[in-house]
Structure 1
């Protein structure tokens, strides 16, 4: 599944964030890009302490936590984002990524369905939902083959799904 990373300008215009605020977020992103993710998270926490409704900072914090492999903390952050900003699909989408990374595909599916319900015209959510269904289908075919290794139909379907994802890499 793909995480959504929004360019600074997209959210700046969409949310009406001022230039100073956007410049500060750019500085924080640079810190993270330079490998100083702990310092970047500290700055984000300071910023969120001053304005807990700063969706841009909340989103960036969640993506940094995902990058660090801190899925539980990322889930908490994106869950908070979906509660506060239920109309924004990015929080649900990245929440689904965190769930999927931990193998909780049902919760990932629920998060993506919530994103689709709140923003039906957001293509990344539909792509991730499709990818999730393909993953679930492949798992079902593998399970069928474990039960019946001679099942040629399941074998050919599984091979087709695996070939599909090999071409997308």
Structure 2
């Protein structure tokens, strides 16, 4: 079976631009409610002004996103943990949806796929209308060769957002892998023609995934 690590795994979404962030008040945390702890681990940005005012929730999320984009997953996860503790002290309605998404991304970058999957699955239950968690959940399914679950997740992502190009492209890649799997199964049962098709398709997939 063709190794699948070169497919889908580079298409993790970098943020939830269309998703609102649950915050309390004006979105700013007070210095005595955890900001000092957060500042120690979040080095991707600085406050917009040279004052003691803490950054807003949006600025914090952008800083974490930049860390993830740079593959600084350990630092990002520390910042996320500190931000979660800060929000717990502040209190407020709901969860920070973008922070949840970023936590799953950080866990996936660190190879902690089971934990990342748990966060994405929680998001698909609480926010089933969001396409991005379904897309990234599909990528984790592909990493363990669970192609059927991956297809269902991608189809759900596209149903939620028919213009979501990353999920559409991922589904096309996945369909190639599914076809290769079926050709190889047929070939193993003695279908010589299927074996030839599998060989040609395997070569095609390798070619389109060359850097």
Which of these residues, 69, 81, 97, is aligned with residue 123 of structure 2?
A: 81
1:25 is matched with which residue?
Answer: 61
Question: What is the CA–CA distance in structure 2 between the aligned matches of 1:64 and 1:131, rounded to whole Å?
Answer: 24
Offset, 1:46: 3.3
Corresponding residue of 1:164: 204
Cα deviation code 1:35-89 (max 9, x no counterpart): 6533421321332452752121111111111111111111111111222222221
**1 or 2, which has the higher helix percentage?**
1
Aligned residue number for residue 112 of structure 1 = 154
Match of 2:41 in 1: none
Structure number with greater CO (CA < 8 Å, separation at least 6) is 2
**Where do 5+ consecutive residues of structure 2 fail to align?**
1-7, 22-26, 28-54
Label 1:145 to 1:72 Cα distance change in 2 as closer, same or farther (>3 A): same
Whole-angstrom distance in 2 between the partners of 1:153 and 1:98: 32
* 8 A contact 2:183–2:195 mirrored in 1: yes
Tell me the distance in 2 between the aligned counterparts of 1:125 and 1:33.
19
Query: 1 CA distance for matches of 2:178 and 2:115?
Result: 25
Call closer, same or farther: CA 1:36–1:15 in 2, change over 3 Å.
Answer: closer
Rounded to whole Å, the distance in 2 between the matches of 1:34 and 1:134 is 30
User: What are the equivalent positions in structure 2 for 1:121-160 lying under 5 Å apart?
Assistant: 121-148=163-190, 151-160=191-200
1:63 to 105, 116, 122: 105
**1:5 is matched with which residue?**
13
Structure 1 residues without counterparts, runs of 5 or longer: none
Q: Secondary structure at 2:182's aligned position in 1?
A: helix
Matched residue SS, 1:69:
coil
Once the two structures are superposed, residues 85-128 of structure 1 have per-residue CA deviations (whole angstroms, 9 ceiling, x without a partner) of 22221100001111111222222122112112211221211211
Q: Residues of 2 paired with 1:65 and 1:95: CA distance?
A: 12
Higher Cα Rg: structure 1 or 2? 2
The two structures, once aligned, show a CA RMSD in angstroms of: 2.6
Q: How many residues align?
A: 163
